[in-house]
A and B are shown apart, each in its own frame.
Chain A
Amino acid sequence: KQEVTQIPAALSVPEGENLVLNCSFTDSAIYNLQWFRQDPGKGLTSLLLIQSSQREQTSGRLNASLDKSSGRSTLYIAASQPGDSATYLCAVSPRNTNAGKSTFGDGTTLTVKP
């Protein structure tokens, strides 16, 4: 059974700092990996989707990488801002007959202090 782990559970940084969030998964037979942002009491917003054949994806100040063989993904946030404060979750989809399944990590709660 796929397990997804995100470390650390919480992170606090001063504004302007570059930071990395980590996501690891136990089964490397994935189709894609997606990073989401969740604000308190709100739904999830998709940030980046990486297909299993890709190594990284970029959107603005965000860069997500994928190393399928080691079962790891990182989300790099450059020049962090207070508005980046949220919980960040990663989710993997399997490359098999259970393609509809999604397994989420528990998330990393990021606080960016002004």
Chain B
Amino acid sequence: EAQVTQNPRYLITVTGKKLTVTCSQNMNHEYMSWYRQDPGLGLRQIYYSMNVEVTDKGDVPEGYKVSRKEKRNFPLILESPSPNQTSLYFCASSFGGHQKETQYFGPGTRLLVL
């Protein structure tokens, strides 16, 4: 089944404890992206990757890191999480090198930073 998977789905952590949220897609998509969704602020893009070894900042990249060493994986790294990073995180992927096409979303990761 074609899908985007995220792990973990739920995570409670404490301030400053490094964490990684994994994202994997099995559709051979070039493009992948991370978003966060917050009440009243909508869906905002954190980072995106147009292809392997190519990443770029979205609108809210502060406090996050990403890497794209393989086409199928795009992990989101929080080196020192803070309470304001408590959010619902989504990973997405699509075909398209220069321009992305239909985006397919993962199920989301709900993160609580205490």
Contacts and interface: CB of A to CB of B under 8 A. Distances in A.
Interface residues of A, number: 25
B57 to A, nearest CB: 9
Contact of B48 (A91, A101, A104, A107): A101
Interface stretch (B14-22, B79-87, B101-109): B101-109
B102 A49 contact: yes
Contact of A99 (B100, B102, B106): B100
B7 interface: no
Determine the main DSSP class of B at the interface with A. strand
Given A89-B43, A106-B42, A100 B31 contact: yes
B45 interface: yes
Contacts of B108: 41-43
Interface residues of B, number: 26
A69 B108 CA distance: 34
B79 to A, nearest CB: 23
A34 B58 contact: no
A32 B101 contact: yes
Nearest to A46: B102
Contacts of A54: none
A74 interface: no
Contacts of B58: 101-102
Interface of B: 31, 33, 35, 42-45, 48-50, 56, 58-59, 90, 92, 98-108
